[in-house]
């Protein structure tokens, strides 16, 4: 009996004389790699740390962040931990690494990797070491982003004249570096425009979003191709190709300010009792003054013009009777030949409308007659305004 008590006392003395470092402590209670590809995992012994490479975030062309988790410290405090990485598989602490030094608690941490090569696969492992050994977590693969030029789109044309046009564009993203030049480029020779052709250039882009280019110095009645562009250090991007044709230029016009001020003008009206003949009036004009003949069955104006190129005649009219706003379309004669007319602006059943003749293919002296035909069943006011010659 005395021998048994002696053995127990010796055993208790041995236990209480040991330090914490004499035991394996803080070991994981379950498999920390459950469901994880364990490629690259190294745990030298039961006293070494257990570490997991958990994920990545914030990937750019030259950097990304990677996370890790110290699952168990092992049998002594951790003296070094972080991540190591390489373009070769199974990187170790002889490769690039972060090192956060000593830690005495488990938990997550993040390493920021920078100075990387674009569009490249990197192999990464978490690591941790204590006095019993160096452990590595599972290997993950992270690919840096490739270098990207900007993204830009071409918009629609907002205005077109004979010598200019305005078009929208939109900067969607700057790509991998700041935008140093953007705008629109255009050509008239049928090729695809580039930044080496005519262009607008707004320089550095401080913000993304919509912008407008004014294309000046164009030629009348000319087809153009235009597209938006944007430039950064990586390259040049273009938007969709847009085609348009400039309008003809107004080579001559007829002032409506004075009937007597127009050379060789003739006019007549099919008047009713107490009606007025043709006069100049601004009571209902949309451009200041208009030719007016009121309360009549029809009438015409006729004048001479010297036009030295092919042309179309354009003018605005309004002809209505009380209670009705539908217009009577006049006849147009050039050198006594009846011309076809089409409505190019306005609503014939609403108010003023703009008419345009077919193309007159030869220039020279022209006798032009605009005639509202006789209508004995209707008494109307007739207006003619903004007479122009659109030349080619």
CATH code for position 264: 2.60.120.260
Q: Which of 2-16, 82-96, 172-186, 377-391 has the lowest mean pLDDT?
A: 2-16
Given a cut of 80, whether residue 312 has pLDDT beyond it is yes
In angstroms, the Cα distances linking 74 to 107, 109, 187 are: 13, 17, 72
Q: Does one domain contain both 272 and 242?
A: no
**pLDDT at residue 187, rounded to an integer:** 97
Domain end, chosen from 108, 126, 143, is at: 143
Helix, strand, coil fractions of the chain, as percent rounded to 5: 5, 50, 45
**pLDDT at residue 321, rounded to an integer:** 64
Mean of pLDDT values over 357-380? 82
Given a cut of 70, whether residue 303 has pLDDT beyond it is yes
Domain end, chosen from 222, 247, 272, is at: 247
Whether 155 is covered by a domain: the verdict is yes
Q: Does one domain contain both 115 and 188?
A: no
Mean of pLDDT values over 225-248? 94
**pLDDT at residue 360, rounded to an integer:** 86
Task: Annotate 117-168 with DSSP letters as a single string.
Answer: PTT-EEEEEEEEEETTEEEEEEEEEEEPPPP---EEEEEEEEEE-SS-EEEE
**pLDDT at residue 379, rounded to an integer:** 75
**pLDDT tens string 107-161:** 999 999 999 999 999 999 999 999 999 999 999 999 999 999 999 999 999 998 8
**pLDDT at residue 340, rounded to an integer:** 92
Whether 15 is covered by a domain: the verdict is no
344-380 burial, b if ≥16 CB within 10 A, otherwise e? Answer: eebeeeeebbbbbbeebeebeebebbbbbeeeeeeeb
DSSP state for residue 116 in the 8-state scheme: P
Given a cut of 70, whether residue 19 has pLDDT beyond it is no
pLDDT-derived band at 306 (thresholds 50, 70, 90) equals confident
pLDDT-derived band at 88 (thresholds 50, 70, 90) equals very high
**pLDDT at residue 20, rounded to an integer:** 42
Domain end, chosen from 190, 217, 247, is at: 247
Whether 45 is covered by a domain: the verdict is yes
Q: Does one domain contain both 105 and 189?
A: no
Q: Please report where in the chains the tokens 């979003």 appear, as a residue.
A: 209
Domain harbouring 208, CATH code:
2.60.40.10
Range(s) of the domain holding residue 289 = 251-391
Q: What sign results for the dihedral spanned by CA atoms 231, 236, 240, 242?
A: positive
| Token pair of 43 as six digits | 């745990």
**pLDDT at residue 163, rounded to an integer:** 85
Q: Does one domain contain both 257 and 352?
A: yes
pLDDT-derived band at 13 (thresholds 50, 70, 90) equals very low
Quickly count helices (H) and strands (E) in the chain.
Answer: 1, 26
Q: Does one domain contain both 308 and 366?
A: yes
Q: Looking at the 3D structure of the chain, how many domains does it have?
A: 3
Q: Does one domain contain both 255 and 373?
A: yes
Given a cut of 90, whether residue 232 has pLDDT beyond it is yes
Whether 330 is covered by a domain: the verdict is yes
**pLDDT at residue 25, rounded to an integer:** 43
Whether 11 is covered by a domain: the verdict is no
Q: Does one domain contain both 197 and 137?
A: no
- What angle is formed at CA 125 by the lines to CA 123 and CA 128, rounded to 5 degrees? 160
For the chain, first and last CA: distance in Å? 130
The pTM for the full model equals: 0.54
Q: Does one domain contain both 276 and 343?
A: yes
Q: Does one domain contain both 377 and 260?
A: yes
- What angle is formed at CA 130 by the lines to CA 129 and CA 133, rounded to 5 degrees? 70
| Token pair of 107 as six digits | 């938990």
Whether 1 is covered by a domain: the verdict is no
Q: Does one domain contain both 285 and 223?
A: no
- Average predicted confidence (pLDDT) for the chain: 84
Q: Which of 2-11, 51-60, 138-147, 356-365 has the lowest mean pLDDT?
A: 2-11
**pLDDT tens string 239-273:** 999 999 988 777 777 766 655 555 556 666 665 54
Whether 196 is covered by a domain: the verdict is yes
Whether 6 is covered by a domain: the verdict is no
Mean of pLDDT values over 61-67? 96
Given a cut of 50, whether residue 12 has pLDDT beyond it is no
Mean of pLDDT values over 319-348? 81
Q: Does one domain contain both 172 and 194?
A: yes
């Amino acid at each position: 009996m005395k021998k048994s008590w002696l053995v127990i006392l010796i055993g208790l003395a041995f236990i209480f004389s040991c330090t914490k470092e004499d035991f394996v402590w803080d070991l994981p209670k379950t498999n920390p790699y459950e469901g994880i590809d364990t490629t690259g995992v190294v745990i030298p012994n039961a006293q070494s740390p257990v570490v997991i490479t958990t994920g990545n975030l914030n990937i750019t062309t030259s950097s990304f962040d990677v996370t890790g988790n110290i699952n168990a410290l092992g049998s002594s405090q951790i003296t070094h931990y972080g991540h190591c990485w390489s373009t070769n598989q199974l990187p170790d602490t002889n490769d690039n690494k972060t090192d956060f030094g000593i830690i005495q608690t488990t938990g997550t941490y993040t390493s920021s990797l920078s100075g990387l090569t674009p569009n490249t696969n990197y192999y990464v492992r978490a690591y941790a070491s204590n006095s019993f050994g160096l452990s590595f977590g599972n290997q993950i693969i992270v690919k840096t982003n490739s270098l990207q030029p900007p993204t830009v789109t071409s918009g629609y044309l907002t205005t077109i004249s004979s010598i200019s046009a305005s078009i929208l564009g939109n900067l969607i993203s700057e790509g991998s570096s700041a935008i140093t030049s953007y705008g629109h480029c255009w050509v008239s020779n049928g090729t695809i425009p580039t930044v080496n052709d005519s262009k607008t250039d707004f320089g550095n882009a401080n913000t993304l979003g919509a912008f407008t280019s004014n294309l000046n110095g164009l030629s009348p009645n000319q087809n153009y191709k235009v597209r938006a562009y944007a430039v950064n250090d990586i390259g040049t991007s273009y938007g969709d190709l847009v085609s348009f044709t400039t309008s003809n230029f107004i080579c001559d016009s007829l002032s409506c300010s004075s009937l007597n001020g127009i050379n060789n003008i003739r006019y007549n009206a099919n008047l009713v009792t107490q009606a007025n003949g043709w006069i100049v009036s601004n009571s209902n004009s949309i451009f200041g003054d208009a030719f007016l003949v009121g309360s009549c069955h029809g009438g015409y104006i006729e004048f001479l013009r010297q036009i030295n190129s092919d042309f179309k005649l354009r003018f605005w009219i309004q002809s209505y009777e009380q209670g009705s706003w539908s217009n009577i379309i006049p006849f147009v004669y050039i050198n006594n030949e009846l011309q076809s007319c089409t409505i190019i602006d306005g609503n014939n059943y609403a108010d003023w409308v703009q008419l345009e003749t077919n193309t007159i293919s030869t220039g020279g002296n022209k006798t032009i007659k605009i005639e509202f035909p006789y209508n004995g069943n209707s008494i109307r006011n007739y207006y003619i305004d903004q007479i122009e010659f659109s030349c080619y």
